[in-house]
Amino acid sequence: MGVTVIVNFFAKIGSVVLGAWKGTVEVLGLLFDTIWWLIFGPLKNKFVKSDSIFHQMVFAGVGSLVIAMFVAFFTGIVIAMQSAYQLSRFGANIYVAPMVAISLARELGPVLTALVVTGRVGAAIAAELGTMKVSEQIEALETMALNPIRFLVIPRFLALLVMLPCLTILADLVGIFGGFLVGVFSLDLDPYRYITFSFKYMAWKDVWTGLVKSGTFALIISMIGCYMGLNTKGGAEGVGKSTTLSVVTSFILIILFDCILTGVFYFAGK
């Protein structure tokens, strides 16, 4: 009995590892196909319809604006208060300004926005494509000689790739404004000095590394959402499963790639 349990345990680990490996290969395959269609589709006179990209941009970008700004604003306030808690001991309250600006631009802006968008847009992508899959709509597209990647994946991919960095920049600004309110009204800092200090210590690199992260997250959210959606099996339960799985997988990958990219920028910048 004990041996079976151990064998089952390792079998379980093995199947999880194999499943993750297979998933990785297939997601990369989907990414490759997407990029292939993006480059060679237009050459074959098969353009992606601009109205469907626009529709997705409105849904992914404009639709996420309020919630993403809400998160960024309060995060800015929280960082300002938390860092003031430490910095006031040294009488260095004014350094709250660059602290808030840099931590938002490099880290919290891209990551928190990506997580919000995963929950809203990534889940919606997986659910919509999953429903289309189980109700034979994907197959219908194929029999009509319409490639699902060109028709469904690329508009979502492009929309997120454009809108997530845009949202991130706005989130950075709104977060900085949240910190500014704390600095001015609670820490009694001079508004003008606060703003000059914010941007004095912030380098161009802080912004573009944040945007590179945000672009990577857009890729993760759209690819995982589309992959889970297109591989949905078995009715309503399957759609629920794909949606959950796409959100969880995207969360993990966002955190993982955030760490990897931070490491790369840190060591490359030395």
Shortest Cβ distance from residue 229 to another protein (Å)? Answer: 14
Site residues (vs another protein, CB under 8 A)? 44, 128, 132, 135-137, 139-147
Cα–Cα distance, 82 to 79 (Å, whole number): 5
Shortest Cβ distance from residue 141 to another protein (Å)? Answer: 8
Amino acid at 138: I
DSSP 48: P
Helix (H, G, I), strand (E, B) or coil at 76: helix
Shortest Cβ distance from residue 123 to another protein (Å)? Answer: 17
26 vs 139 by CB, closer to another protein: 139
23 vs 41 by CB, closer to another protein: 41
6 vs 144 by CB, closer to another protein: 144
Cα–Cα distance, 65 to 269 (Å, whole number): 32
39 vs 145 by CB, closer to another protein: 145
Shortest Cβ distance from residue 4 to another protein (Å)? Answer: 18
- Are the C-beta atoms of residues 181 and 97 closer than 8 Å to each other? no
Shortest Cβ distance from residue 156 to another protein (Å)? Answer: 13
138 vs 219 by CB, closer to another protein: 138
For 151, residues 6+ apart whose C-beta sits below 8 A from its C-beta are: 52, 141
Cα–Cα distance, 20 to 26 (Å, whole number): 10
Beta-strand runs (E) in 65-179: none
Measured in whole angstroms, how far is the alpha carbon of residue 262 from the centre of its chain? 15
* Token pair for 193: 């000095």
In this structure, the dihedral spanned by the alpha carbons of residues 27, 133, 128 and 238, taken in order and rounded to 10 degrees, is -80
Shortest Cβ distance from residue 60 to another protein (Å)? Answer: 15
26 vs 136 by CB, closer to another protein: 136
What is the sign of the dihedral through the CA atoms of 55, 61, 64 and 66?
A: negative
